[in-house]
Amino acid sequence: MMTRGEAPADGPYAVLFEPVEVGPVTLRNRFYATPQCSGFGADRPHAQAYHRAMKAAGGFAVVHTEWCAIHPEADEWPAVTGRLWDEDDARNLGLMVEMVHAEGALAGVQLGFNGAHSENLETRRPARGITQVPSNTFHFHSCYEMTEAEIVELQGFYVEAALRAREVGFDVINVCANENAGIPLQFLMRAYNRRDDRYGGPFENRARFLLELLERLRGALGDSCALTVRLAVETHHDGDLGMRPEHEARRVIEMADDLVDLWDLEVTGRSMAEWGESAGPSRFHREGYQLAAVEKARSATAKPVVNVGRFVHPEAMVDAVRRGVIDLVGMARPGIADPFLPTKIRENRVDEIRECIGCNICISRYEQKATIVCTQNATIGEEYRRGWNPERFEPAADADRDVLVIGAGPAGMECALVLARRGMRRVHLVDRERELGGHLRWVTQLPGLGEWARVVDYRKIALAKLRNATFVPGTELSAADVLEYGAELVVVANGSSWARDGLNGFDHAPIRGADASLPHVLVPEQVMVEGKPVPDGPVLVYDCEGYYMAASLAERLAREGREVTFVTPFAEVAPYMDYTLEAIGMNRLLRGLGVALVPQHRVAEVAAGAVRGHHVHDEAADVEWPVAATVLCTQRVSDAHLFRTLEADPEGLEQAGIEGLYRIGDCFVPRIAAESVFEGHRLGREIDSPDPSEPLGFPRERLLV
């Protein structure tokens, strides 16, 4: 066996394991874990350290923190971000450095100061900015315009934060000039910089802040750390308002190249809210989608270049390196879905990689001011508090038991996989359908969601390798069948169905006339699975859920040439997609397809030929939509009958020798797939706990009085 990080002697991926010199430090291979939110900041040092160290254990050469505020004027609370305000913050991040080093990797930290984009909700300090213009991302929030003295003082904040980071052992100091966030980037862009002093106006002046900053950082750090810049080379602004790879980006790279050890180049959107262009969801962006822009700027530097782009296929990585576009393969999300991605490539276990599906649920939790989760990797964020390692499974204390898992959706597949890996005697995963996947079998047929099938593919391949796991297709079990089946442990994971009567969370009631047994009323399964025809003519899609289903169905119907009206009581279309950075793109897409978007409206009655409703805040404002068909995406209802029937028959369970009966996933509560996968995983990990239905507790990092 080779040791971690060591290069394979040959093979098609050998180039990925060549060491790369970055200024004074050497990266053991080309796998570069970029700054990534959300982590756990400086306030949860253990969770932070264990989370980041898992990527180091998985073979990454360098592992970064998330964005770390250098000063109380850049306070992102309650968003979970890092802080380097003082020595205590640095000390907390130091645990991460220690653990990353112990796994043979380098530790990087990102220095951030966002100007008007920092709300400073905890510190209540006014934020300094370049020009007094409010944030286009956080409402009703502006900044004060810095004097030249205050600009110099701000550069000093960076230097002090960098020295604090060096003091605790960080090897790579990264300056955030990306995603409209970092103030060095804002200085470069006319969109933010309307100054007419030596820091504004011509490009040389706008670049002055970054150049002076790098000089001061280099002077303070010397050759003790690598100094890197994460720079947006494309910001999609009109004209010369922002960054263009062949203009502003090339110029600043040429001007600063001597001061920088590595450029982390990226593409982003016009506002901070549009960082979905940087962390591109699979709905809109393919693997390696940033390379074309990066390539235009790349030749301006003699230094190593890294770029993200949701790389999961080693062939794509090798190609990008061989073509000379990048020297290091940047990864945030692919390393969340599989922290051991480098190791699996090195050991030629490519089919064991849990490939990122680009759903951006990881990012959704940052946007919701929470900590990280992942649809593919249930262990992410649980490294410390639950002690989970995605590649390690302890033999179960009750491994002599046979398990029946009913339902092969995300929850059932994951639970069966974990239980099989924990060595249960036999695990039978039973589904009424012929194929694994549950609702993902058809959700992945929706436009733009094809990559979500990786959730199924990974588990299908992994289950097929386990001798104690059997997939039993085409079998629907009644409660009596379950009692007869012969398992000691029964896990019900049979999912949920869309309400066929319009029941929804806005009315807390069904909708008059909404009956999916009628030809002109449909629910998603009828459209996608059952082949129920959508009557000819205009279609109304009604969304009370706010995530992908209604929007995707509207897209699909519009692409089929249908006239589509999208009605939702929410203030905007698909608000949950704000969290996943898909909302802006989805709104643009639906508008482009000619879908009539009608937010803030409630449907009161569905009739043949017409749907009637009104404005959510004005019931007198009646609207009638003359449509031939209505697709109801109002809510999902758990298929709870099987579990409840079994639960209500304790004698039957006992006679059948069933010691444990559990429910996971949507049949418990319909949620995002990531929560279903987590729940299946959690039950598998804790199947031998005193009461597996009740999650074990976990340590919370908090101050005790």
Partner 1 sequence: MTVLVAIKAVATVDEEFELADDGLDVAPEFVERELNEWDSYAVEAALRLRESGALDEEIVLVTVGDEDAEEALRAGLAMGADRAVRVWDDSLPGVLGPLAAARLLAAVAAEMSPSLVLCGAQSADAAYGATGVALAAYLKLPHAAVVRELSYSADAIEVTRELEGGLLQRLRLRTPAVLTVQTGINEPRYATLRAIKQAEAKELDLTDPASLGVAIGDLPEAVLDRVYVPAVEGAAEMLEGTPDEVAARIAEVVEREMAA
The beta strands (E) that lie in 548-673 are given as 564-567, 596-598, 601-607, 610-615, 618-625, 629-633, 636-638, 660-663
**Neighbouring C-beta atoms of residue 563, cutoff 10 Å:** 15
Phi, psi at 613, each rounded to 5°: -160, -165
Closest to partner 1 by CB, 323 vs 591, is: 323
**Which residues are within 8 A (CB) of 365 and not within 5 positions of it... i.e. 6 or more apart?**
38, 371, 372, 373, 579
Shortest distance (Å) from residue 653 CB to partner 1: 14
Nearest residue (CB) to partner 1, 428 versus 439: 428
Q: Which is nearer to partner 1, 470 or 645 (CB)?
A: 470
Q: Which is nearer to partner 1, 217 or 477 (CB)?
A: 477
Tell me, residue by residue from 246 to 285, as one string, x for binding to partner 1 by CB under 8 A and - for no binding. ----------------------------------------
- ∠ CA 190-191-192 to the nearest 5 degrees? 90
Residue 294 or 632 with smaller CB distance to partner 1: 294
Complex with partner 1: residue 426 or 612, whichever CB lies closer: 426
Shortest distance in whole angstroms from residue 578 CB to partner 1:
37
Least Å from the CB of residue 427 to partner 1 = 10
CB nearer partner 1, residue 272 or residue 658: 658
Secondary structure (3-state) at 177? strand
Give Rg (Cα) of the chain. Answer: 27
User: Nearest approach, Cβ of 323 to partner 1 (angstroms)?
Assistant: 5
DSSP annotation of 693 reads T
Establish if 402 lies at the interface with partner 1 (CB under 8 A): yes
The least distance separating partner 1 from the CB of residue 488, rounded to whole angstroms, comes to: 9
Q: Are 669 and 498 in contact (CB under 8 A)?
A: no
Task: Determine the interface stretch with partner 1 among 122-130, 291-299, 464-472, 693-701 (rule: CB under 8 A).
Answer: 464-472
Min separation Cβ 426 and partner 1, Å: 6
Check if the beta carbon of residue 120 is closer than 8 Å to that of residue 79. no
When asked if residue 323 is in the footprint of partner 1 (CB under 8 A), the reply is yes
From the list 21-29, 140-148, 483-491, 608-616, the region that binds partner 1 by CB under 8 A is: 483-491
Q: How far is the CB of 531 from partner 1 (least distance, A)?
A: 23
CB 45 within 8 A of CB 702: no
Scan for tokens 């508090």, then name that residue: 385
Query: Cβ closer to partner 1: 124 or 467?
Result: 467
Q: Alpha-carbon distance 284 to 516, whole Å?
A: 32
Residues from 282 through 321 that contact partner 1 (CB under 8 A): 319
Q: Which of residues 403-422 bind partner 1 (CB under 8 A)?
A: 404
Q: Which residue's entry shows tokens 């005790």?
A: 704
Three state DSSP letters for 216-270: HHHHHHCCCCEEEEEEEEECCCCCCCCCCHHHHHHHHHHHHHHHCCEEEEEECCC
Whichever of 474 and 609 has its CB closer to partner 1, that residue is 474
Q: How many CA atoms does the CB half-sphere of 699 hold within 13 Å?
A: 12
Exposed, middle or buried: residue 6 (CB in 10 Å: 0-12, 13-18, 19+)? middle
Of 148 and 476, which has the nearer Cβ to partner 1?
A: 476
Of the pair 204, 654, the CB lying nearest partner 1 is at 654
Do residues 217 and 158 make contact, with C-beta atoms less than 8 angstroms apart?
yes
Residue found under tokens 């940047």:
330
- Part in contact with partner 1 (CB under 8 A); list of ranges 226-234, 484-492, 613-621, 659-667: 484-492
**26, 299, 475, 693: which one contacts partner 1 (CB under 8 A)?**
475
Only segment of 102-110, 470-478, 494-502, 623-631 that touches partner 1 (CB under 8 A): 470-478
Closest distance to partner 1 from the beta carbon of 459 (Å): 19
Which is closer to partner 1, CB of 117 or CB of 428? 428
- 365 binding partner 1? (CB under 8 A): no
The least distance separating partner 1 from the CB of residue 227, rounded to whole angstroms, comes to: 31
Binding mask 20-39 for partner 1 (x = CB under 8 A): --------------------
CB of 593 to partner 1, least distance (A): 32
Which has the closest alpha carbon to 376: 358, 350, 351, 349? 358
Residue of 124, 139, 467, 617 that binds partner 1 (CB under 8 A): 467
425 vs 588, which CB is nearer to partner 1? 425
β-bridge partners, 618: 615
486 near partner 1, judged by CB under 8 A = yes
Closest CA relative to residue 667, chosen from 683, 644, 647, 686: 644
How far, in whole angstroms, is CA 397 from its chain's centroid? 34
Q: Shortest distance, CB of residue 471 to partner 1, whole angstroms?
A: 9
Site for partner 1 (CB under 8 A): which residue of 275, 311, 388, 485?
485
Sequence-separated (6 or more) residues with CB below 8 Å from residue 445: 528
Binding mask 651-690 vs partner 1 (x if CB under 8 A, - otherwise)? Answer: ----------------------------------------
| Contact between 487 and partner 1 per CB under 8 A | yes
Single out the residue of 87, 167, 484, 659 in contact with partner 1 (rule: CB under 8 A).
484
Q: Which stretch in 241-249, 385-393, 480-488, 688-696 sits in contact with partner 1 by CB under 8 A?
A: 480-488
180-214: buried (b, 16+ CB within 10 Å) or exposed (e) per residue?
A: bbbbbbbbbbbbbbebeeebbeeeebbbbbbeebb
Q: Among residues 166, 230, 251, 428, which is the contact residue for partner 1, using CB under 8 A? A: 428
**Are 287 and 316 in contact, with CB atoms under 8 Å apart?**
yes
470 binds partner 1 per the rule CB under 8 A: yes
Selected from 255, 370, 472, 610, the binder of partner 1 by CB under 8 A is 472
**Least separation, in Å, of the C-beta of 643 and partner 1?**
19
Helices 548-559, 583-592: axis angle to 10 degrees equals 30
Contact present, 172 and 64 (Cβ < 8 Å): yes
* Residue 322 interacting with partner 1 (CB under 8 A): yes
Interface stretch with partner 1, choices 270-278, 481-489, 513-521, 576-584 (CB under 8 A): 481-489
Size of the site for partner 1 (CB under 8 A): 16
**How far apart are the C-alpha atoms of 332 and 52, rounded to whole Å?**
11
Number of other residues whose CB lies within 10 A of the CB of residue 639: 17
Q: How far is the CB of 405 from partner 1 (least distance, A)?
A: 11
Q: Which stretch binds partner 1 (CB under 8 A): 143-151, 363-371, 485-493, 544-552?
A: 485-493
Contacts of residue 250, defined as CB under 8 A and 6 or more positions apart, other chains included, come to 296, 297, 300
**Spatial separation of the C-alpha atoms in residues 73 and 586, rounded to whole Å:** 34
Kindly list the residues in this chain that would bind partner 1 in the complex (CB under 8 A): 319, 322-323, 402, 404, 426, 428, 467, 470, 472, 474-475, 484-487
